[in-house]
Amino acid sequence: MRFWQGMKRSSGCGKNSLARCLFLAVGILLSGCQSPWITCTIVNHQPAPVSLVQVSYPGGSFGVQTIAPNGSFRYRFHALSTDKVSVEFIDAAHADHTITGPELAEGQEGIFEIAIEPGNHVTWTPKLKQAR
């Protein structure tokens, strides 16, 4: 208790200053600042699983070990530059496939679907726009 007796309260730490700081912090969090995300879903429409699935996009890559028949895998990412996207996977016959898709641009956001179809064909469904 003796420790606190000798301390003075600073005028900058009052209730009003704390309220202003909290208001400012909440305002910054709610100001609408957000990074442009692309939500990518890989869907396996084949009757057998696909494995070692990897998507390469401008600025990175992601993957999943296996996608079951009629299963899907979802991942969110940022396009950090402008380049084409590609998908690699191994089919049920253990054959490697690499298919190049459309170009993604830095700053795009939205939904992007990659469908692995029977016969190892891939369809790309981008629903993207340039972020503000």
SS3 per-residue string spanning the chain:
CHHHHCCCCCHHHCHHHHHHHHHHHHHHHCCCCCCCCEEEEEEECCCCCEEEEEEEECCEEEEEEEECCCCEEEEEECCCCCEEEEEEEECCCCCEEEEEEEEECCCEEEEEEEEEEHHHEEEEEEEEEECC
pLDDT digit string, tens, across residues 57-116: 999 999 999 999 999 999 999 999 999 999 999 999 999 999 999 999 999 999 999 999
Task: Look over the chain and give the mean of its residue pLDDT values, rounded to a whole number.
Answer: 85
The pLDDT score that the predictor gives to residue 7 is 47
- Res. 128: pLDDT tops 90: yes
| pTM higher than the cut 0.75 | no
Of the options 1.10.540.10, 2.60.40.650, 2.60.40.2890, 1.10.10.10, the CATH number for the domain spanning 38-130 = 2.60.40.2890
